[in-house]
Amino acid sequence: MKQLNYLYGKPLSRGDFKSSAEDFMVDEILDIVLTGEGEHVCLQVIKKGENTQFVAKQIAKLAGVAPRDVSYAGLKDRHGVCSQWFSVPVAIKKHIDFSALNSDSIFVVKQTRHNRKLRTGCHSGNHFKIILRNVDMPLDILSRINAVRQGVPNYFGEQRFGHDGYNLEMAERLFAGEQIRDKKLRGIVISAARSHIFNQLVSLRVAEHGLAKTWHREVFLLSGSNAFFEDDISDETIARLSSGDIMLSAPMVGKGEKGLVEQERQWLEPYSAWQQSLGQLGLKIERRALRLIPNQLQVETLDSATIKLSFSLPKGTFATAVLRELVQHRDASKDNFNQEVVDANPA
């Protein structure tokens, strides 16, 4: 991540991130209307200092089902206070009081029935409250806020790649023929490789063109959709970009070259072996938004060395992509915990 280009130049200020669990608060935004009846119980849970899989296992144990039967909208960081939604199958005539899970690290806020299980990615986004401590140049952060409100490179965060990039090392071994029997881990490793290539392409575009300048021909992503199309820049496409109807994008590589413009094909040449391997694994080319816009970004100075940030992001995006354009942030949680090789926020 340190090698990726900055849109607004490398920040001058340094600060500590995740000094305590309460310094990193995440509230999952679930827009689904729950039916109140059905064979699945949906739980809104606040967890502190626990990972999502641990909570899922506790729910499964109480419900008397296998951990694989517990689903959730998205993975959340261990090192924070995070609210998120889970679902678990429970026979209609059976009642389980899931408040029995309440402890110093888990609190069940709400439980209600629904007619289907929650699926990964069914949430619309997350709201973040982040406190930066030991900030040495707060004015540099404050001077960047208005620029960052206009958007930052939509990089995947370092948690996607595992501790010290271990997921990418595993990807190299997988592409060389080594087997990964754990399907979940295999998916994480494949996703890490794809995300790494995306980051490199976005970084190259940031260095050469920024995020505002367009090429003569672009691959546009329809807002709120995975659909994309290639077209020349015209008055019509510029108007649609301005309205937010479509977005500039970069490729999530897979089989073939459909949906790639010539500049992207050139930039992908150093990653051709990985691209070919991803295609052989059955992945198709997709597109991801080039720019990430933090919604309702607010900043508050708590004291001369402490700053509080709050903002919302769409699902599958990373708060650290916003932070890195504001401050050189040090993850203080690494002082106290060993990092796990997990994807904390899959797209």
Contact 160, 187 (CB under 8 A): no
262 torsion bin: left (phi>0), alpha (psi -120 to 50), beta (else): alpha
For residue 103, give the DSSP letter.
Answer: S
How, if at all, do strands 81-89 and 291-292 pair? unpaired
Least Cα distance to 113 among 95, 135, 128 occurs for: 95
Give strand pairing partners of 311. 128
- CB atoms closer than 10 angstroms to residue 256: 11
Catalytic residue among 69, 77, 97, 231: 77
The CA radius of gyration of the chain, in Å to the nearest whole number, is: 21
CB atoms closer than 10 angstroms to residue 98: 20
77 catalytic residue (yes or no): yes
Q: How far is CA 221 from CA 19, 153, 218, 245, in A?
A: 37, 15, 10, 9
Q: Which two tokens stand for residue 179?
A: 């087997």
Do residues 131 and 83 make contact, with C-beta atoms less than 8 angstroms apart?
no
Tokens representing 312?
Answer: 């919302």
Residues recognised as catalytic: 77
